[in-house]
A and B are shown apart, each in its own frame.
Chain A
Amino acid sequence: MAIFEQQVTKQPPTSEVGMIHWLRENLFSSITNGFLTLTALYLIYLSVPPLADWMFFDATFAEVSNDQCGREGACWSYVFEKINLFTYGFYPTEEYWRPQLVLALAIVFVLIAKNLKKSVYKVKVIAGLIVSYPVIAFVLLYGGFGLEVVETHKWGGLMLTIVVAAVGIVASFPIGILLALGRQSEMKIIKFLSVVYIEFIRGVPLITILFMASVVLPLFFSAGMDVDKLLRALIGITMFQTAYIAEVIRGGLQAIPEGQYEAADAMGLSFFQKTTLIILPQALKISIPNIVGSFIALFKDTTLVLIIGLFDILSMVHLTTSDENWLGRETEGYVFVTMVMWVILYSMSRYSKKLEVRFSTEHKN
């Protein structure tokens, strides 16, 4: 009778586990793949070390003048010296606390809204915050009520970029909802007007709308009415964004099953009640990931305001390198602005991906 003994478990062969197996499977599974891997590695070798040298190892970080900065590597001293222009534009230095407070308030308000306990007051408090925030932010940034007035032509840098994007999304939202409802409406004239507006705006580049807002719009106002340059740009941006938001919300409206409309009618709800209580809450919820996506696109598009002469963060590159102390540092400027914009846009796009996953699982069951 055979005696069975516990055998020592053998290690799997090295070709099936560990580093070597992983390399084989993922990088050298065939001759073509091996060749591709080596080519890619060579390309990385060609591009990454010189870039790293330029950005870090040969770069100057100390506070020195342009001449003391080498031409071999980046001169970050320039960015450090101009950081206030990049952030606030010509906003007076002693008033920097105001935009900072506006940003802090935004964070505080979001935290309050998130941590409110579910109660009858929740909706009212949130509505109050949403309505009061733009007013507070405007008074803080512009001035009045005892604060020194800071004219809008002094606004600039990243602050202006954020203001334009934020106003664009907030102002376009209610009009966008109306247009989306109009496009879905059974009233022929309303539907026609909505379709014409949306398709017209979506058919032309933003820059032509901005040109229109900056040169044609002043003609429409009665003589003597001087409309602020920033306000004109904001009108243009809002007109543009409205059409895109309307299309996003229309997508949400179309996803609501017919039964919801019929059920609301059967309950005897009026059109207004049906829309605000049944249809919109569901449609907006479905649209949230796409609204965030549309906001990301708007944030990218805000850089266009430099073409009509507003000093956003991108135009600061040209402005700061026109300073004779810092001639020839455009590359550093563009790289810096690229890094700032990329970090903001990349985090937003990650956030929107997360939302998409969250909302898609909620609707699966």
Chain B
Amino acid sequence: MSKFKSIFSFLYNNEVRAFLFQLLTLLAIVYFFYAAVDNMFANIESRGIQTGFGFLEAESGFDIAEYLIDYSSTSSNLTVFYVGLINTIVVSVVGIVLASVIGLIIGIARLSNNWLIAKLAGGYIELFRNIPILLQILFWYNIALASFPHPKRSFEFFDSIFVNLRGIYMPKPIAEEGFVWIVIALIVGFVLKVLVKRHFNKKHDETGVETNTLAYSLALIIGLPAVVYLALGSPLHFDYPMLKGFNFKGGMSLSPEFLSLAFALSIYTATYIAEAIRSGIESVTKGQKEAAAAMGLTQKQSLKLVVLPQALRVAIPPIINQYLNLTKNSSLAAAIGYSELVSTFAGTVLNQVGQAVEIILMTMAVYLTISLVISLILNIVNHKMSIKGR
């Protein structure tokens, strides 16, 4: 017995155990993947599916309803990938902006001292966050299709905006020669605004005199481009949508798919953003506001200099997480057919080509990259906002 023990006693060493355990786990996982990949190649061969990324060059052969870069059914599958990716980004950005605005309003309304407003905001949050997002997307899509009229009987606004079953049609701005100078003027205006702000901040630090920079900012950001615009003789005209046959031609349009997806995503995510903002503001203790008042700060100064900076530190990380969730949820467009990444590339292309492994991996890689970038931003923000020890 004692001899047996001495031979195997090394097994009782924690480090040896850890090493062996990890080795076994690694072997098991490597074997698992080996077996899976082996089966996969056998299956792919027996089903006659191609492998590799050659399919990206091939002609896609189908039409896409919405695209922002050049696309036709003779374009390559790689172009489909880009079209889908751009549409994903577009709907996510629109959703994020809308969700932030709605969320901010609801979050503040929830803390309002007006009983009715606070209750309504609470009701909004409880209603929309407890309904699955996919159900909301389908619901709004169905409502849009059921309640919007036929193109010939469109709702009209100012003779230039038309709402019907096919979507919203709007005049499309077309830049003429010289428009680039207006963009440059806008950029110059922004840079100057920052410099002016910095100058007056410095003055405030040195002399204690505060200057209201709002007038300067407006003049630089809006005034300067406006002056350039007029000086160049309005180098911009609009292409108006016209009813031709059964549908509108010209202008730019937003499809019902895009509208219902963006709407559903933003009102759903807004409930989470509202809660984040509320908990952020509530996390600032009463003592902070009292101390600010005791220092002689006005209500506005106290809000701007004491309450908000602390509230945002709590609120911003969950809000950024919600932006990520919204981007991931935009993939549910597959259910209503808005042409974003999952529904075009992982949907239509996959059905035509059948190369599931490559396509799903590429799609996942896109979302992984987006979430890594967002968590990187989150880390930077957290680092910047963390309380600096002195």
Residues of A within 8 A of B (CB): 26-27, 29, 33, 36-37, 40-41, 44, 186-190, 193, 200, 202-208, 211-212, 215-216, 218-223, 300-301, 303-304, 306-307, 314, 317, 330-331, 334-335, 337-338, 341-342, 345-346, 349
Question: Cβ of B39 and Cβ of A221 under 8 Å apart?
Answer: yes
Mark out the residues of chain B between 18 and 72 whose CB falls within 8 Å of any chain A CB in the assembled complex: 18, 21-22, 25-26, 29, 36-37, 39-40, 42-44, 46
Most chain B CB within 10 A, of A40, A202, A207, is at: A207
Question: Cβ of A26 and Cβ of B113 under 8 Å apart?
Answer: yes
- Separation in Å of the A158 CB from the closest CB of chain B? 13
A341 CB contact (under 8 Å) in B26, B131, B142, B367: B131
- Least CB separation from A161: chain B residue: B132
B367 CB contact (under 8 Å) in A208, A215, A303, A349: A208
The 3 closest A-B CB pairs, nearest first, are: A26-B115, A203-B371, A205-B328
- Least CB separation from A271: chain B residue: B14
Question: Cβ of B346 and Cβ of A208 under 8 Å apart?
Answer: yes
5 further interface pairs, Cβ-Cβ under 8 Å (given A207-B332, A207-B334, A303-B132): A36-B112, A189-B25, A204-B328, A307-B335, A314-B135
B356 cross-chain contacts in A, Cβ below 8 A: 211, 215-216, 219
* Contact of B75 with A by CB under 8 A: no
- Cα distance A211–B335 when bound, in Å? 13
- Cα distance A280–B117 when bound, in Å? 44
- Separation in Å of the B30 CB from the closest CB of chain A? 11
B329 cross-chain contacts in A, Cβ below 8 A: 205
* Contact of B126 with A by CB under 8 A: yes
Instruction: Give me 22 A-to-B residue pairs in the complex whose CB atoms sit less than 8 angstroms apart, sorted by A's number.
Output: A26-B115, A27-B115, A33-B114, A36-B114, A36-B117, A37-B116, A193-B25, A193-B26, A206-B328, A207-B332, A207-B342, A208-B346, A208-B360, A208-B364, A208-B367, A211-B342, A223-B43, A223-B46, A300-B132, A330-B142, A338-B135, A346-B126
- Separation in Å of the A183 CB from the closest CB of chain B? 14
B342 cross-chain contacts in A, Cβ below 8 A: 205, 207-208, 211
- Separation in Å of the B364 CB from the closest CB of chain A? 5
- A-B interface pairs (CB < 8 A), number: 145
A222 cross-chain contacts in B, Cβ below 8 A: 39, 42
* Contact of B372 with A by CB under 8 A: yes
B21 cross-chain contacts in A, Cβ below 8 A: 187, 190
A187 cross-chain contacts in B, Cβ below 8 A: 18, 21-22
* Contact of B134 with A by CB under 8 A: yes
* Contact of B127 with A by CB under 8 A: yes
- Cα distance A193–B329 when bound, in Å? 26
Question: Cβ of A331 and Cβ of B29 under 8 Å apart?
Answer: no
Question: Cβ of A212 and Cβ of B360 under 8 Å apart?
Answer: yes
- Separation in Å of the B282 CB from the closest CB of chain A? 15
Question: Cβ of A193 and Cβ of B334 under 8 Å apart?
Answer: no
- Cα distance A208–B117 when bound, in Å? 40
Question: Cβ of A349 and Cβ of B130 under 8 Å apart?
Answer: yes
B131 CB contact (under 8 Å) in A29, A205, A216, A338: A338
Mark out the residues of chain B between 353 and 380 whose CB falls within 8 Å of any chain A CB in the assembled complex: 356-357, 360, 363-364, 367-368, 371-372
Question: Cβ of B130 and Cβ of A342 under 8 Å apart?
Answer: yes
- Cα distance A216–B42 when bound, in Å? 13
* Contact of B254 with A by CB under 8 A: no
Question: Cβ of B367 and Cβ of A334 under 8 Å apart?
Answer: no
Question: Cβ of B146 and Cβ of A346 under 8 Å apart?
Answer: no
B146 CB contact (under 8 Å) in A208, A216, A301, A330: A330
B40 CB contact (under 8 Å) in A40, A206, A219: A219
B133 CB contact (under 8 Å) in A203, A300, A317: A300
A341 cross-chain contacts in B, Cβ below 8 A: 130-132, 135
Question: Cβ of B135 and Cβ of A29 under 8 Å apart?
Answer: no
- Cα distance A314–B132 when bound, in Å? 10
- Cα distance A300–B329 when bound, in Å? 12
B332 cross-chain contacts in A, Cβ below 8 A: 205, 207, 304, 307
A203 cross-chain contacts in B, Cβ below 8 A: 367-368, 371-372
B360 CB contact (under 8 Å) in A26, A211, A330: A211
- Cα distance A319–B368 when bound, in Å? 34
- Cα distance A330–B146 when bound, in Å? 9
- Separation in Å of the B119 CB from the closest CB of chain A? 9
Contacts A40-B117, A208-B346, A341-B135 given; indicate if A215 touches B360 (C-beta within 8 A): yes
- Separation in Å of the B326 CB from the closest CB of chain A? 11
Question: Cβ of B142 and Cβ of A190 under 8 Å apart?
Answer: no
- Separation in Å of the B327 CB from the closest CB of chain A? 8
* Contact of B174 with A by CB under 8 A: no
B135 CB contact (under 8 Å) in A40, A202, A208, A337: A337
- Least CB separation from B25: chain A residue: A190
A205 CB contact (under 8 Å) in B29, B127, B331: B331
Question: Cβ of B114 and Cβ of A314 under 8 Å apart?
Answer: no
- Separation in Å of the B324 CB from the closest CB of chain A? 9
B134 cross-chain contacts in A, Cβ below 8 A: 303-304, 306-307, 314
Question: Cβ of B22 and Cβ of A40 under 8 Å apart?
Answer: no
Most chain A CB within 10 A, of B22, B135, B332, B367, is at: B135
A307 CB contact (under 8 Å) in B114, B126, B142, B334: B334
Most chain B CB within 10 A, of A33, A211, A342, is at: A211
- Least CB separation from A216: chain B residue: B356
Mark out the residues of chain B between 309 and 357 whose CB falls within 8 Å of any chain A CB in the assembled complex: 328-329, 331-332, 334-335, 342, 346, 350, 356-357
